[in-house]
């Protein structure tokens, strides 16, 4: 007769081999985050750049079936529940697509472009002046 420990190991191994264990863990994390998320606290306004970046990431996550991760991103960032229109996103990024590129997330095309670009010796010059500054983290030590 199998022991409880052996049974637990067999169930865990079966769930892992079916690819279900990772999904369950992600779902639990998403539900815990949702339960802990304080909806009463106002979120800072979502900048235009962050809106576009989050949408690129969400499109990538959903394409790869990381749905729970995408749901946490949406909840935590304040991104609109409904995804932005793909054509709108491409226009905002000044990207022109061919029919084959429309079958994958825009992020794949952007990365591919930069990996295969031979302009400027393979380097691109980035300017940070128009980008938002990183949020500061204030930490307080209890009892101080």
Percent of the chain predicted with pLDDT > 90: 28
Average pLDDT over residues 72-80: 85
Contact (Cβ atoms closer than 8 angstroms) between residue 79 and residue 55: yes
What fold is seen in the domain 50-113? Mitochondrial Import Receptor Subunit Tom20; Chain A (1.20.960)
Is the pLDDT higher at 22 or at 132? Answer: 22
pLDDT in tens, 35-64: 766 666 667 778 999 999 999 999 999 999
Mean pLDDT of the chain: 80
Is the pLDDT higher at 114 or at 84? Answer: 84
pTM of the entire structure? 0.63
CB under 8 Å to 18, separation ≥6 — which residues?
none
Helices (H) and strands (E) counted in the chain, each on its own, are 6, 0
Average pLDDT over residues 10-28: 84
Return d(Cα 109, Cα 90) in angstroms, integer.
Answer: 11
106's tokens: 């825009």
Residue 140: burial class (beta carbons within 10 Å; 0-12, 13-18, 19+): exposed
């Amino acid at each position: 007769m199998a022991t409880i420990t052996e049974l637990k190991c067999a169930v865990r191994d079966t769930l892992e081999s079916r690819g279900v264990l990772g999904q369950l863990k992600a779902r639990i994390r998403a539900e815990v985050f949702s339960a802990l998320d304080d909806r009463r606290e106002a979120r800072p306004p979502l900048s235009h750049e962050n809106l576009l970046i989050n949408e690129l990431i969400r499109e990538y996550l959903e394409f790869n079936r990381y749905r729970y991760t995408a749901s946490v991103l949406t909840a935590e960032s304040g991104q609109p529940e409904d995804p932005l229109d793909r054509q709108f996103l491409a226009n905002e990024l000044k990207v022109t697509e061919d029919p084959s590129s429309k079958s994958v997330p825009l992020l794949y095309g952007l990365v591919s472009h930069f990996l295969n670009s031979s302009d400027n010796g393979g380097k691109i010059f980035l300017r940070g002046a128009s980008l938002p500054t990183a949020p500061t983290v204030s930490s307080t030590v209890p009892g101080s």
